[in-house]
Chain A
Amino acid sequence: MEPNLRDTPLRRFNTFWWGLALFVVFGIACFFLRTFVNDEMTDVDKERGQERLVKKDKVEAAQAAALKVDPTSVFDKLQNTLNAAPAASAVASPEAAEMAPAAEPTPAPAPAAPVEEAPAEAPTVTPAPAPVTPAPAAPAEPVAPTNPE
């Protein structure tokens, strides 16, 4: 067979590295494309979300401002009120204690307002069964029996 003049080690070497270079060039092009092509894309959800977040901040600020009394400072007073009305609370507290853990998932009735009323209500309502105040005050009731200890 006549010798194959085309088949030289140089040609093989060249072809291999040119092929690899082609792939690498593609890879570099992809890299540049991904890092330097930045379209500012947004979608409707994000826009509406921004609006909602602004509203939420406003609502929370208004609620915090309307909260004239720190809820934790009222617990002691409530506890004293309940201790002072043993007959009423003897009827009320089993129900209250039973209701209290279940009060947790109550969907957001405004907790600030009843707590605010509590110091005003407590002296007047004492003879009646203690009102079952929702979540923030509720933990006070299970706490009540243990506190004297």
Chain B
Amino acid sequence: MSTETNSPYLEDTQLRADIDRSLRHPVMFFFTSGAAWLAVSLVLGILFSAKVHSPGFLDGCSFLNTGVLYQAHLSTMIYGWGAQAAFGVIIWLMSRLSRQECKASGLILTAGHVWNACIAIGTIRILMGEGSGVAWMYFPKFIWPVLLAIYFFIGIWAVIAFRVRRGGHIYISQWYLMATLFWFPWVFISGHLFAIGYLGEGHEMMATAASAWYRSALMFLFFTPVAIASAYYIAPKVTGRPVYSYNLALFGFWALAIVGPWTGFQRLMGAPIPSFMQFLSAGAAILMLIPAIAVAINILKTASAKKDAMAHSPSLRFTVAGVVGLLVFAALGALMSVPGVMKYTQFSTAQYGLEITGLLGFFSMCMYGAIYFIVPRITNREWISVGLIRQHFWLTVYGVLFIAIFYTLGGGFLHGEILENVNESQDSAYTRLFPYAVSLTTGFIFILIATFFFCCHLLLMWLRLGRRSSHPTLLVRHAHGSPHGPEGDLDKLENLDSNLSTH
């Protein structure tokens, strides 16, 4: 803007709008393609889950075996949806908090396209049966260095933005984001090097341990801090209240940093790896409840300081649901690390159910909250339909609750009990577990429908078909006057200029 105004508020607003506009293409691309991959992943998940309880379903198709379906489902969910949503949030949030316009948008957009191409190639190779078979690293080996290089070209701009930031205060979200930007490549390199790089050379136990560690570390040192950073931004921003306790936030961050990297080996309880690793991880997994509770208290108290904000704002509603999901995820993880409980859950469906609860119930909900906040800003349009947002929210909550309660807890413990019972016949086990296996399919179907609505909504916004309004799309209609003033169509505001008599 070439006009000089001495209104710092206007300047700041203009700066924020410029930042949003500069980031429109890469961030919108990440969110839209991420949501599309999420839908793909859920379809694959439904097919996989259907084959578990109805083994003859879609038989005869070699690229629809249960094994490759599971691998493709998890790969697309983690690297197609999870990583891209996280990247979009990281670059937008870091730019905004550092008050830096992004000058490398084109490069980030290109990197995003290459990332998508890699995920597509990797998924097709998996379905053709050429996956690596290592948990959460199912893509063929050649894909991983490419993904790492792409990450560099996405993450470095956020680091630069932080280093040249404007302003004296470093926001809580920025701690988490900076930490993530360095944790992610470390976890990625270490995990892949020791789990895949040494495969077939006689170090199988090391590969197994590294793979188990990678699964926990990716969850706690990449997905968790990004979601927490988004929550620490959305909650005070939407409510206008300060974060409940700064000291608690500080404590929570350091607790996550110290405890997080130690988890993972408890999945291998009883395996021929040194025994201290397993018990250390089990202890750390229980200790993870502490940062989870710290974050949850902070965010929930901040959000509840303004009573009606959660009822009105979709971003806040999703974020708070995500933080509750964090508590549930940490509690389930802690429960499933106690050796007495592990007797039942270690080899049961509870493990996969826990991963899904964490990915869909916690991380995805926080990401949805961030997306509902960010997209109107970068496209300068408001969400079209309140109904779609409501459906998205409630169907996802139903789906995640189904999976967490029936599949993870109920099915997991029953499965464990059946495995413990040495005389149980195959038929009896199948009959007893059947309803719980079906509950996974049901949960996924709910979430797929919700995601479908979300994808359609996001696509319309991407095509700039959103509402051109000066009012946000809230979940509740204000019966009388809105705090934002009378609602005006953006276009009509243009007429104001021509109505003014110029001096």
Contact = CB atoms under 8 A, between A and B. Distances in A.
Direct contact of A and B (CB under 8 A): yes
A7 B201 contact: no
A41 B201 contact: yes
Contacts of A33: 193
B159 A43 contact: no
A8 B164 contact: yes
B196 to A, nearest CB: 12
Interface string B201-229: 11100000000000000000000000000
Given A39-B202, A42-B202, A1 B15 contact: yes
Contact of B189 (A12, A16, A30): A30
Contacts of A43: 202
B57 interface: no
A105 interface: no
Interface stretch (A18-26, A109-117, A121-129, A139-147): A18-26
Contacts of A8: 164
A4 interface: yes
B165 interface: yes
Contacts of B202: 39, 41-43
A41 B15 CA distance: 60
Interface string A63-87: 0000000000000000000000000
A6 B162 CA distance: 10
A50 interface: no
B189 A11 contact: no
B185 A1 contact: no
How large, as a class, is the contact surface on chain A?
20 to 34
Given A20-B152, A33-B193, A34-B197, A7 B100 contact: yes
B420 interface: no
B487 interface: no
B11 interface: yes
B272 interface: no
Contacts of A11: 163-164
A26 B189 contact: yes
B193 A30 contact: yes
A42 B203 CA distance: 10
B144 to A, nearest CB: 12
A114 to B, nearest CB: 46
Interface residues of B, number: 23
A79 to B, nearest CB: 53
B156 A20 contact: yes
Interface string B150-191: 001001100110011110000000000000000001000100
B166 A15 contact: no
A26 B185 contact: yes
Contact of A23 (B99, B165, B166, B185): B185
Interface in B124-160: 148, 152, 155-156, 159-160
A41 to B, nearest CB: 3
Contact of A15 (B8, B99, B160, B185): B160
B63 to A, nearest CB: 32
Nearest to A41: B202
Nearest to B12: A1
A39 B15 CA distance: 57
Nearest to B167: A4
Nearest to A19: B156
Contact of A1 (B11, B152, B156, B164): B11
A105 B99 CA distance: 80
B19 to A, nearest CB: 13
A28 B369 CA distance: 40
Interface string A36-73: 00010111000000000000000000000000000000
Given A4-B164, A7-B166, A41 B156 contact: no
Nearest to A1: B11
Contacts of B185: 23, 26
Contacts of B148: 23
Contacts of A6: 163-166
A30 to B, nearest CB: 6
B193 A19 contact: no
A66 B42 CA distance: 68
Contacts of B163: 6, 11-12, 15
B167 to A, nearest CB: 8
A11 B160 CA distance: 8
A4 B165 CA distance: 8
Nearest to B148: A23
A7 B15 contact: no
A59 B427 CA distance: 51
Given A23-B185, A41-B203, A42-B202, A16 B152 contact: no
Given A20-B152, A34-B197, A4 B166 contact: yes
Contacts of A1: 8, 11-12, 15, 166
Nearest to A12: B160
A12 B15 contact: no
Given A1-B15, A19-B156, A23-B185, A12 B164 contact: yes
24 contacts: A1-B15, A4-B99, A4-B164, A4-B166, A6-B164, A6-B165, A6-B166, A7-B166, A8-B164, A11-B163, A12-B163, A15-B163, A15-B164, A16-B156, A19-B152, A19-B156, A19-B159, A23-B152, A23-B185, A26-B189, A30-B189, A33-B193, A34-B197, A41-B201
Given A6-B164, A16-B160, 18 more contacts: A1-B11, A1-B12, A1-B15, A1-B166, A6-B165, A11-B164, A12-B163, A15-B160, A15-B164, A19-B155, A19-B160, A20-B152, A26-B189, A30-B189, A33-B193, A34-B197, A39-B202, A39-B203
